[in-house]
């Protein structure tokens, strides 16, 4: 569990690194601010009381993503390598370990060259830049998620995101325990629940995650209608709206582009084995 002062230090270091490297780091602040006291997921390095290095682990089922940073004045000193080694005991339980590096991070790519890993996938962060708000479509409904929806959310994670059933249950139970289920909306068409969408708020920024439609309801336009409704809900509140997509998912990428989203940054992921 991170103390408030530590969170402030991480945020300050992130701002220094992003400004210096002209990158966007994916530090998953919704997870950083809700760490469990018994879990060792964050590793910090100090010099004379100043935070100069940080590495965080982010668990999604049996997959763990790794992301971190080092102050520009303290690089090439082995700081990140030591943080990474210290994280290994916590990584041993993971079925997949993905190292997350911004696509244009030269220092990150140099560090990857020093270890054994293989490129796995990329992810675009896209921002809605539409000129007009989507119209209200009464043929689709985004309703708040309730506890009774847990089985449907587990099913969607299994059939749409390749979770194993037990992983999906653990993941959703953790979200429920941490209070994140209030961010979920169920997608309904004619009283049938056909999917889900998560909207996370961070000040004036709204991020869309976990957008999924059951396979038997795909190809009917429901995904596009749900996305436009989510954009309408958030944009009319004055929020900036973001989402993530893998570039090889051409169908989703086409949908997002046609809805008014443009690529803002790219994250690359590398598979690592202990």
The three-state (H, E, C) secondary structure of the chain, written as one string: CCCHHHHHHHHHHHHHHHHHHCCCCCCCHHHHCCCCCCCCCEEEEEECCEEEEEEEEEEECCEEEEEEEECHHHCCCCHHHHHHHHHHHHHCCCCEEEEEEECCCHHHHHHHHCCCCEEEEEEEEEEECCCCCCCCCCCCEEEECCHHHHHHHHHHHHHHHCCCHHHHHHHHHHHHHCCHHHHEEEEEECCEEEEEEEEEEECCEEEEEEEEECHHHCCCCHHHHHHHHHHHHHHCCCCEEEEEECCCCHHHHHHHHHHCEEEEEEEEEEEECC
| Average pLDDT score, the chain | 95
The predicted model scores a pTM of 0.88
Question: For the chain, where do the domains classified as CATH 3.40.630.30 start and end?
Answer: 4-115, 128-265
Which CATH architecture fits 128-265? 3-Layer(aba) Sandwich (3.40)
pLDDT at 60: 86
Is-contact 96 228, C-beta < 8 A?
no
Quick one: pLDDT at residue 18? 98
Range with the largest mean pLDDT of 4-18, 29-43, 174-188: 4-18
Note the pLDDT of residue 176.
87
Report whether pLDDT(214) > 90: yes
Rounded Cα–Cα distance for residues 168 and 74 (Å):
39
Give 38's pLDDT tier (boundaries 50, 70, 90).
Answer: confident
Residue range 100-121: mean pLDDT, rounded? 97
CA distances from 78 to 82, 91, 114, 137, 248 (A): 6, 20, 11, 55, 35
pLDDT of residue 39: 83
Q: CATH homologous superfamily of domain 4-115?
A: Gcn5-related N-acetyltransferase (GNAT) (3.40.630.30)
What's the confidence (pLDDT) of residue 20? Answer: 98
In the chain, what percentage of residues exceed pLDDT 70? 100
Give the C-alpha separation, 127 to 230, whole Å: 13
Nearest Cα neighbor of 59 from 167, 153, 176, 182 is: 167
Q: Specify the pLDDT at position 254.
A: 94
């Amino acid at each position: 569990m991170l103390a408030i002062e530590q969170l402030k230090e991480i945020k300050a270091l992130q701002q220094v690194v992003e400004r210096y490297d002209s990158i966007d780091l994916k530090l998953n602040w919704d997870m950083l601010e809700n760490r469990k006291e018994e879990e060792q997921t964050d590793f910090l390095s100090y010099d004379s009381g100043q935070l100069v290095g940080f590495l965080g682990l982010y668990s999604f089922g049996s997959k763990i993503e790794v992301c971190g940073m080092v102050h520009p004045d303290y690089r090439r000193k082995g700081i990140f390598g030591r943080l990474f080694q210290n994280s290994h005991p916590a990584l041993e339980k993971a079925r997949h370990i993905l190292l997350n590096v911004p696509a244009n991070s030269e220092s990150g790519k140099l560090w990857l060259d020093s270890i054994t890993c293989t490129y796995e996938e990329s992810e675009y962060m896209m921002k809605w830049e539409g000129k007009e708000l989507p119209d209200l479509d009464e043929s689709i409904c985004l309703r708040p998620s309730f506890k009774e929806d847990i089985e449907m959310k587990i099913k969607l994670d299994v059939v749409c995101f390749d979770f194993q059933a037990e992983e999906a249950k653990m993941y959703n139970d953790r979200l429920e325990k941490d209070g994140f289920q209030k961010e979920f909306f169920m997608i309904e068409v004619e009283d049938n629940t056909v999917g889900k969408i998560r909207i996370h708020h961070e000040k004036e920024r709204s991020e869309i995650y976990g957008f999924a439609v059951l396979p038997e309801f795909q190809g009917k336009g429901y995904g596009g209608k749900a996305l436009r409704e989510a954009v309408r809900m958030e944009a009319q509140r004055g929020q900036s709206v973001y989402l993530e997509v893998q570039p090889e998912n051409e169908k989703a990428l086409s949908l997002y582009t046609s809805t008014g989203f443009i690529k803002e940054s790219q994250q690359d992921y590398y598979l690592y084995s202990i």
